[in-house]
Amino acid sequence: MQWEVKIKRDRMEGEEERLNEEDIKTIEEVGAISFRAIDKAKEMAKPGMKLVELADGVEKFVRDSGFDIAFPINLSVNVEAAHYTPSLMDERTIGEKDVMKIDFGAARDGLLGDCALTVDFSGENQDLVEASNNALENAVSMVRAGAKVRDIGKEIERTIKSMGFSPVMNLGGHGVGRHDLHADLFIPNYDNGSDDELEEGKVIAIEPFATTGRGMITEGDTCEIYSFNGEAGVRSQGARQVLAEISSKYPSEPFAARWLSNIIPSKFGLYAAIQELVRSGALEPYPTLIEVSKGLVSQAEVSMLVEKDGCKVLTK
């Protein structure tokens, strides 16, 4: 099973959408601000800083720039591969030896950015960081209409293993559609035998994950990211209030629990309401993803527009 965000689609299954010139201009703007945001996060992040302060600051930067948010900023540290975003009143701070993945994207008119980088605060794990960076660079050089995803995955695996690390096998790249962060196409970090090919005019994200561990991830015990599944009957007033807020403000893209503190300021009350909504089926939870053997993980990611003879990197 691939661990990936399963965002509710606004279009019918199998229906294709082609980007027009205005869409392409918009998604280039979205990509540019997405990259500026993760670069800003890298500049802001310092040992001792609270993760929630970093998250709130970078998300505010995107909103103040006139964009929406494609998904809550992921600040996944060390053995965490993905999906960690700070909780309400989170006291967690950046450690001096942390390896932190910063994964984030802006949005406008349902068009989404998605990019990531890794910060090695101690400087002791630069080879691990370079493994995912080099794998991404080599993979992007192969992108063109008609390229097979298995060949891209094979090159990612070859690059990461050549540097003494393992690719994370059950995470990978993906198509990016309107209101659809993880569209149907899956781009593996190894040769998965798929004959799927890249199509001209489609937006994709490639994201190699390298690890000192076995190269598999599983769900952890924490969850701070959710998406709206649809209306459901709930009993408590708090859950009804939270559901109304979610269906109004976050009907398509994922959201962070801490974004709802204006509805229920109490941390206990907010999380109780969210759990009631999860049990009812109104919300889809996305737990933090952990490397199974507790290996350190690095990540690199860009989004790009597939062209006939290459690609246009959007998140730069």
Residue from 130, 182, 253, 276 carrying the catalytic annotation: 182
| Cα distance between residue 9 and residue 16, in whole Å | 12
* DSSP result, 136-167: HHHHHTT-STT-BHHHHHHHHHHHHHHTT-EE
Amino acid at residue number 137: E
Residue from 59, 114, 130, 157 carrying the catalytic annotation: 114
- The Cα diameter of the chain in Å comes to 56
Which has the closest alpha carbon to 26: 153, 154, 178? 178
Active site residue 90: no
| Cα distance between residue 314 and residue 303, in whole Å | 6
* DSSP result, 201-267: T-EEEE--EEESS-S-EEE-S---EEEE-------SHHHHHHHHHHHHH-SSS-EEGGGGTTT--SH
Active site residue 196: no
Residue from 68, 98, 224, 301 carrying the catalytic annotation: 301
Active site residue 83: no
| Whether the Cβ atoms of residue 167 and residue 215 lie closer than 8 Å to each other | yes
Residue from 90, 207, 224, 291 carrying the catalytic annotation: 207
For tokens 């990509």, name the residue.
31
Active site residue 114: yes
| Cα distance between residue 9 and residue 109, in whole Å | 14
| Cα distance between residue 60 and residue 54, in whole Å | 10
Residue positions annotated with a catalytic role: 103, 114, 174, 182, 207, 301
